[in-house]
Structure 1
């Protein structure tokens, strides 16, 4: 698959001498072939085509190609959700007796998969701090098959030492998988920093409208790519053609959305840091961010759409804040055109003990914000209303 940039979207249908500006939805579950020989040609790679939607369909192919171009990769696979992408990689490439090493602040369901499901299948797992490449490398075992990290952690926005971890994995023959959902290929292309596999929850920033549930995964190695594909097809991780169609629409505006939300996020972070009752603000471009120097190098001076902050007063103040900031959706998601507010202790990281959350820097007053496209002044006013309610 070519990574050449193009201004024209690939066509699905042509009508006579004209062709559609917007690709159509292809809902067909099955596709007919002329002969058994023709079907053999498709399955054996001598001809392109589709047979059964669980194995692939045109709308999924369009999304897969679009994200692959963004990531600078040869090919990719569209799946039914971001967690489908994580699962297809972890279970498609490992077996009983293998060890998987993960970052200690992965997305909540990725952590659950690591801590509960993989061990049940005989796959050992452990977690390490990805901001410390030496410590992460020390956690690699002889039986470690794969390492999974995120460039920016959820929800404390710490920066992984991607280059150091990639070097350690390369030296030890460990497959490095990077979840690039938070940062997106507009901020960083992990493949350029030594990653072997990149995955996304397309649901989030890439599609961008909270009306799509999709995942994507790309692998450099064709053998690994095939193993991931086979597992996904066998277990039915099929993406919806309609969701793929919506995602293609969303990705057309992604670069514009990404630029805008970063500007607003940086301004919001600066404002929050000046407010009474706010005890901590985390944003990668701020001078007080613990990994600012690394963020500047990896993200090339960019931030992201996420801001995390902490208010004093615990759960009581947190409840008051969400009620006071009534114009901001309190919802456990990110990447929407509208700003959303998440409380990790009651949503994404509720499965962790209070002590474990505290160790990771998540108190009852800790919030994560996914900044949207609203007018920045109106957004700041909504946060001020929430803070006033929390202080009261």
Structure 2
């Protein structure tokens, strides 16, 4: 029987109500009390549903996980403290010393650093290959290869991976395929429907969408893999903040509307940028001049994303002039906000790479990545025209 002795040191219960809250309550408690050891055992053994210590899970994280599971057509997803925590859950939670992993040669800068510097010192060898070239990925496979990590649309060069070919190759070789779906989101692409084994998201970006949340999410088809990643995240303290989860749930309620609006404006902006003198190149997956356009149309069903990349004529001086003149836009190393943001990979996401490595990826000093927000298209056209003019 539960101990009902009153104590001023214990919180009073939430008052009973015949009605229910419309908004999910925020549950910031770090610890949850059980009645006795047998009840606690039953919770840990899965015989009773309950919470114990928030590092091991809390209600707000579960609410967000279930929403994201539904969006990706999955079950058992894990919400963690950041997008890179989700990547780490896959690479460090599932691999061990002696294993080999292949990464796309164009990944988010910190994912590349994890591949190149951190995994090797833990005894996990790595290789990079072009995810659009199946023969190149096949050539990189070794007997000890356990996993391939790719982004559907790469950050920040917006190259489109051959997910169909990669899935066929990985299944043929018994290798896991992990897909970072952050740029495309389940609104444009659902990796499990195309053969992926694991899906990764930086919820911080488009899904939460207001630049006030730091969260990641990862889910696998195989429940055993989800269990391993969950245990790893708990052990290494990747637990998300209840408040961030609460904010993310709010953002998810408007996600579809935000994504559709930003995607349409991004297409408009890409076409506009291509007409401006002083622009060396514009990158958007569904444009006719994109080398992966056919693959993008096939994989994304005619959809794109809210990201546009372009390169100015000139180097750092032109980049500085452009950023200073882009009044009303935030120059910040982020994406997915309700407002349009500008990112300069050479000074932010890919600054850890050498100049030669950045050049090999096409990330010159005049290269910008744009995360298109919810502004009126005409306003953005005017801002970008003025800023490009100032830069040139």
What residue is the counterpart of 1:118 in the other structure? 119
What residue is the counterpart of 1:4 in the other structure? none
Distance, in Å, in 2 between the alignment partners of 1:189 and 1:172 is 22
Q: Which moved more, 1:223-232 or 1:54-63?
A: 223-232
Change (3 A) 1:290 1:14: farther
Shift of 1:15: 4.6
Aligned 8 A contact 1:137 1:169 in 2: no
What residue is the counterpart of 2:365 in the other structure? 364
Once the two structures are superposed, what CA deviation does each residue of 1:78-103 show, in whole Å capped at 9, x if it has no partner? 10111111111111111111001100
Distance, in Å, in 1 between the alignment partners of 2:353 and 2:136 is 22
Shift of 1:352: 1.7
Shift of 1:48: 1.0
Q: How does 1:156-305 map to 2 (within 5 A)?
A: 156-305=157-306
Shift of 1:375: 1.3
Shift of 1:36: 1.8
SS of structure 1 residue aligned to 2:391: helix
Aligned 8 A contact 2:278 2:389 in 1: no
TM (norm. structure 1) is 0.95
Once the two structures are superposed, what CA deviation does each residue of 1:232-287 show, in whole Å capped at 9, x if it has no partner? 10010010000000000000000000000011000000000001011100111111
Q: CA RMSD in A?
A: 1.1
Shift of 1:326: 2.4
Aligned 8 A contact 2:80 2:215 in 1: yes
Q: How does 1:144-155 map to 2 (within 5 A)?
A: 144-155=145-156
Distance, in Å, in 1 between the alignment partners of 2:319 and 2:200 is 33
Aligned 8 A contact 1:277 1:311 in 2: yes
What residue is the counterpart of 2:10 in the other structure? none
Which structure is larger by alpha-carbon Rg, 1 or 2? 2
Shift of 1:112: 0.5
Number of residue equivalences: 379
Aligned 8 A contact 2:168 2:195 in 1: yes
TM (norm. structure 2) is 0.95
Distance, in Å, in 1 between the alignment partners of 2:120 and 2:380 is 44
What residue is the counterpart of 1:340 in the other structure? 341
Shift of 1:35: 2.3
SS of structure 2 residue aligned to 1:148: strand
Shift of 1:33: 1.5
SS of structure 2 residue aligned to 1:208: coil
Distance, in Å, in 1 between the alignment partners of 2:306 and 2:249 is 20
Aligned 8 A contact 2:87 2:200 in 1: yes
Distance, in Å, in 2 between the alignment partners of 1:34 and 1:107 is 46
Distance, in Å, in 1 between the alignment partners of 2:236 and 2:152 is 28
Q: How does 1:33-44 map to 2 (within 5 A)?
A: 33-44=34-45
Distance, in Å, in 2 between the alignment partners of 1:50 and 1:36 is 14
Distance, in Å, in 2 between the alignment partners of 1:376 and 1:266 is 10
What residue is the counterpart of 1:78 in the other structure? 79
Shift of 1:46: 1.5
What residue is the counterpart of 2:386 in the other structure? 385
Aligned 8 A contact 2:100 2:145 in 1: yes
SS of structure 2 residue aligned to 1:369: strand
Structure 2, unaligned runs of 5 or more: 1-13
Structure 1, unaligned runs of 5 or more: 1-12
Once the two structures are superposed, what CA deviation does each residue of 1:326-367 show, in whole Å capped at 9, x if it has no partner? 221110100000000011111111122222222211111111
Distance, in Å, in 2 between the alignment partners of 1:87 and 1:349 is 18
Aligned 8 A contact 2:345 2:369 in 1: yes
What residue is the counterpart of 1:98 in the other structure? 99
